[in-house]
Every structure is written in C-alpha cells, then in structure tokens.
C-alpha cells in the first residue's frame, strides 16, 4: 500500500475483520451434534451472545464440545472403556445471526468423570469467538434444576451468585428447547474459565 509516495506495511497488531466464521462454518449440519438415531433426550439449544450494552453480537461464532448421553466423548483421548454413540458427533460450530442468536441440535449429555474420578454434572463445553475478543473465551453450559449440579467440582469453585450465568433453562414456549445467554462483559458477564 502506498500513501504520499511511501510504502506502508500492515503489522501484526492491526486488526482486520470481523470475519470469525468465514470459511469455518459449512453446511446446514454444522449445528447438529446428534443425528436422529442418537441415543438420549434430543434437545435444541438456543444461544444468544451479547455485548456490554446488551446488544446481540451479529458476527460471533460458537463451538460446542460435549459427551453423548452415556457420558462418553467421541474422541480417542477419552479413556473410558465404553463405546461412543455412532450417531453422535459431539462437536458443533455455528455463527450468530443479526441478533446474536443460534440454535444447536443435540442430546442432553451424560455425566463424565473429572480429574479425580468423581462424576461431573451434565455439561457442554463452549468456546466463543467474537469481535473485541483477541483470544476465544471458554465456558460451560449446565442444565438448571439438575440434581448433579450440587456435586459438580467446577460449579463449586464458581461463586454462588454467578453460577446462574452458566445455566441453560427450558423454554416454556418451545418444548425440548433449552435457552442460555452469554454476556461477554458488563454487569451480567458470563463466567469464563482460563483453560
């Protein structure tokens, strides 16, 4: 690029974008973690991503990783002896729409063992990519009302007043749909984990 006869070179500190999901989200099945034959309770997970002012973020991207309904990850590093559900992928990735919304199709996950061997509450691992976030942020989705939440070691380290930011709740208007909002900053900021 030239300006007034001088050459200018873009440096690594300059930001270009936003383009978080261009080339990363292909096909209509990117948000379908579970096929129709997958075992377990089939659910829709409706997510909305907000900025500090409470406006939906139109160019965010979310990745989900989760275990199947029996608590087995579809990944070779899962040391459990049980076999993964062949109709369950366990990974999904979607861009947000103009209001910061997206909907995944999955199954409610089973409990997986933690580092100490104790079972964790059913949860979904989440990575959020968005403008203003130089490195993705990581969090979890738990299911409100699940009795196992009280035993979960990760939830116990989150201050009680902030745990609600990690809870998906059933949508009374749409049976089978669970809703959760992610606030990237501000008063209602979601709890994020340094992983």
Return the HEC string of the chain.
CEECCEECCCCCCCCCCCCCCCCCCCCCCCCECECCCCCCCEEEEEEEEECCCCCECCCCEEEEECCCCCCCCCCCCCCCCCCCCCCECCEEEEECCCCCEEEEEEECCCCCECCCCCECCCEEEEEEECCCCCCCEEEEEEECCCHHHHHCHHHHHCCHHHHHHHEEEECCCCCCEEEEEEECCCCCCCCCECC
- Give residue-wise pLDDT tens across range 25-67: 555 678 999 999 999 999 999 999 999 899 999 989 999 999 9
**What pLDDT, on the 0 to 100 scale, is given for residue 76?**
84
Task: Examine residue 195 and state whether it is found in any structural domain, yes or no.
Answer: no
CA distance 58 to 65: 22
- Give residue-wise pLDDT tens across range 125-135: 999 998 877 78
Q: Cα angle at 148 between 69 and 114, to 5 degrees?
A: 70
Omega cis (within 30) before 166? no
CATH of the domain at 135: 2.60.130.10
**What pLDDT, on the 0 to 100 scale, is given for residue 5?**
58
> What does pTM read for this prediction?
0.86
Q: Mean pLDDT for the chain? A: 88
Domain count, the chain: 1
Which band of pLDDT confidence, cut at 50, 70 and 90, is reported for residue 6?
low
Task: Examine residue 169 and state whether it is found in any structural domain, yes or no.
Answer: yes
Domain of 142, in residue numbers:
19-183
Task: Examine residue 30 and state whether it is found in any structural domain, yes or no.
Answer: yes
Task: Examine residue 143 and state whether it is found in any structural domain, yes or no.
Answer: yes
**What pLDDT, on the 0 to 100 scale, is given for residue 23?**
53
Task: Examine residue 189 and state whether it is found in any structural domain, yes or no.
Answer: no
Per the CB < 8 A criterion, the answer to whether 48 and 181 are in contact is yes
Task: Examine residue 1 and state whether it is found in any structural domain, yes or no.
Answer: no
**What pLDDT, on the 0 to 100 scale, is given for residue 7?**
62
**What pLDDT, on the 0 to 100 scale, is given for residue 13?**
45
- Give residue-wise pLDDT tens across range 150-185: 999 999 999 999 999 999 999 999 999 999 999 999
């Amino acid at each position: 690029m030239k300006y007034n006869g001088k050459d200018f070179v873009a440096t690594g500190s300059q930001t270009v974008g936003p383009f978080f999901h261009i080339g990363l989200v292909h096909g209509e099945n990117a948000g379908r973690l579970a096929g129709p034959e997958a075992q377990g309770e089939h659910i829709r997970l409706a997510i909305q991503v907000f900025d500090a002012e409470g406006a939906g973020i139109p160019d965010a991207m979310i990745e989900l990783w989760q275990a199947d309904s029996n608590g087995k990850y579809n990944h070779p590093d899962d040391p459990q002896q049980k076999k993964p559900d062949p109709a369950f992928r366990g990974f999904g990735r979607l861009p947000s729409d103009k209001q910061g919304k997206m909907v995944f199709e999955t199954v409610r996950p089973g409990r997986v063992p933690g580092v100490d061997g104790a079972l964790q509450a059913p949860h979904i691992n989440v990575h959020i990519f968005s403008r203003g976030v130089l490195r993705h942020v990581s969090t979890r989705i738990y299911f409100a009302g699940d009795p196992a939440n009280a035993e979960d070691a990760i939830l116990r380290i989150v201050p009680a007043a902030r745990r609600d930011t990690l809870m998906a709740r059933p949508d009374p208007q749409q049976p089978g749909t669970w809703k959760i909002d992610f606030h990237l900053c501000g008063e209602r900021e979601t709890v994020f984990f340094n992983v």
